[in-house]
Amino acid sequence: MNRPNRREILAFLAALPTALAASRPARAQLNAPKIVIIGAGLAGLAAAEALIRRGADVTVLEARDRMGGRLVTDTKTFEGVKVDLGASWLTGGTANPLLGRLEQVGAQTQADTDDTLIFMNAQQQNAAAVRRFDELYHNIEAAVNGLASRNLTLEKLRPRDEDELLALTLFGPFQYGVEIADLDPADIAALTPKQDNLFVKSGMGLAVQSLFRAIPVTYNSIVTDIEYDETSARISTRDGQTHTADAVIITASTGVLGSGSIRFSPDLPDEHRQAISNLPMGLVNHIYLQFSGNLFGSSVKELTHLYGVTQDNVLQARLSYTDPSIIQCTVGGTLARQLERQSDASAINYALSSLSSMLGTGVERAYINGNCTRWGRDPFALGSHSAARPGQSAARAVLATSAGVLHFAGEALAGPWATQAAGAYLSGRAAAARIMGLTE
């Protein structure tokens, strides 16, 4: 299976406005249907915006005390320096459907760089070695596409040396949040390639808050029960509140849906429950380290990638795009889950000691402050993004279908943009379009 090309991606985007227009009844015909949206992440906010513009009576229930879901910008830890704790880039460059919307609120972006430093057991690799590693990484991508076309799994894709250990770790758990044997190659091949990244300078979380600041949201509203039939639904929250609706858009993560924390009466259809089970949450976390200055001096610029292997530990890091004295380390899969069982200090020390092993003890002397994410322990996320089980990529399309008056939205069911912020945005708009069609 081949990755979608630019033409296919643009065709997917072009179809959405048409779907919305086709399903847009006049306001008098709409008769103000009552819609409850569960979750004020990007999918829920995008759906609310589309529905409110068309005259619907919309209630957005959010379990947290803020909007944005897995998009959040930390402005406190590093004295005003902005760092994104969730998604921080727009994949696909100018083809990303979220770019134009964020530019409407003044968001500025910075293109990713190909600049890379690689260290193997404390030895910096030369330019030729970096080029060979890039070729190895692209060969892995090609191998995954080949396995996808033959409906094979990735379980036999195992490292034979340190270069392959680094490449497979970066490609698998540090990118998708699960070990490489647990990925579905067909799912990966169908996704928009994670290239031509644009970083949001002001912070992705803050930009999204600015874009949707006019959307009314009821915060600290934890949904516990959804009772539904063919024409309506009743939603109950932990604080004893109840809401009735003609339709419900559920943007909770597949991790939350699979945990049973939201009870459905009657149970969701078998195909939806199976789809949720086949789309478990992967886990990618960030560990931010602040130093007294740029560890590499002015010769190494922001966004430079730092990769390394030392004592079988893999490091993926980059100099922050907001301040080169801050280094963002990324961990995923089994390692991320192991670190979540330890303290924040232990997770920070893991990243700090890994950097120190590669660059020398001066790293620890220059260290000032740190912060880390724990998306797997967040009860309203239970992971960073969805990862289809081997052979189960079709589950995304299944979960995108409606179950009577219940509609699902989120990054897990967004076609080629699944797993990404843009996917959540498009999925929310698509759910709104489906509801407008149902209420004609």
Per-residue pLDDT, 311: 79
Per-residue pLDDT, 76: 94
Q: Which of 383, 362, 367, 273 is nearest to 329 (CA)?
A: 367
Per-residue pLDDT, 52: 96
* pTM for the full predicted model: 0.91
CB-count burial class (<10 Å; 0-12, 13-18, 19+) for 211:
buried
DSSP state of 304: -
Q: How far apart are CA 41 and CA 251, in angstroms?
A: 8
pLDDT greater at residue 7 or residue 121: 121
Mean pLDDT (the chain) is: 91
Q: Which residue shows structure tokens 């912020």?
A: 421
Average pLDDT, stretch 157-182?
Answer: 95
Q: Kindly give, in sequence order, each residue whose CB lies less than 8 Å from that of residue 240, ignoring residues fewer than 6 positions away.
A: none
Give 151's pLDDT tier (boundaries 50, 70, 90). confident
pLDDT at 200 over 50: yes
pLDDT at 110 over 80: yes
Per-residue pLDDT, 394: 96
pLDDT at 192 over 90: no
The kind and range of the H/E element at 165 are helix 162-171
pLDDT greater at residue 193 or residue 174: 174
Q: For the chain, what's the residue count?
A: 440
pLDDT greater at residue 320 or residue 6: 320
Q: Kindly give, in sequence order, each residue whose CB lies less than 8 Å from that of residue 54, ignoring residues fewer than 6 positions away.
A: 24, 25, 27, 30, 432, 436
Nearest-10 crossing angle of helices 127-149, 162-171? 60
Average pLDDT, stretch 202-226?
Answer: 97
Average pLDDT, stretch 243-263?
Answer: 98
CA dihedral 62, 63, 69, 73 (to 10 degrees): 110
Looking at the chain, which residues constitute the CATH 3.90.660.10 domain(s)?
113-195+284-372
pLDDT, tens digit, for every residue of 18-35?
444 433 433 434 478 999
What percent of the residues of the chain are helix, what percent strand, and what percent coil, each to the nearest 5? 40, 20, 40
Per-residue pLDDT, 28: 31
pLDDT at 13 over 90: no
Residue type, 362: G
What CATH homologous superfamily does 6-67+212-279+389-438 map to?
Answer: FAD/NAD(P)-binding domain (3.50.50.60)
Q: How far apart are CA 435 and CA 33, in angstroms?
A: 9
Q: Is 204 helix (H, G, I), strand (E, B) or coil?
A: helix
Per-residue pLDDT, 335: 97
Average pLDDT, stretch 271-287?
Answer: 98
Per-residue pLDDT, 156: 86
Q: Tell me the fold of 113-195+284-372.
A: Polyamine Oxidase; Chain A, domain 2 (3.90.660)
Q: Which of 325, 339, 243, 247 is nearest to 286 (CA)?
A: 339
Alpha-helical runs (H) found in 172-304:
173-176, 185-190, 204-211, 254-259, 270-277
Q: How far apart are CA 409 and CA 219, in angstroms?
A: 19
Q: How far apart are CA 298 and CA 66, in angstroms?
A: 37
pLDDT, tens digit, for every residue of 82-105?
999 999 999 999 999 999 999 999
Looking at the chain, which residues constitute the CATH 3.50.50.60 domain(s)?
6-67+212-279+389-438
Per-residue pLDDT, 4: 55
Give 5's pLDDT tier (boundaries 50, 70, 90). low
pLDDT, tens digit, for every residue of 344-391?
999 999 999 999 998 888 999 999 999 999 999 999 999 999 999 999
pLDDT at 3 over 70: no
pLDDT, tens digit, for every residue of 286-333?
999 999 999 998 889 889 999 999 877 899 999 998 899 999 999 999
Report the percent of the chain where pLDDT is more than 70: 92
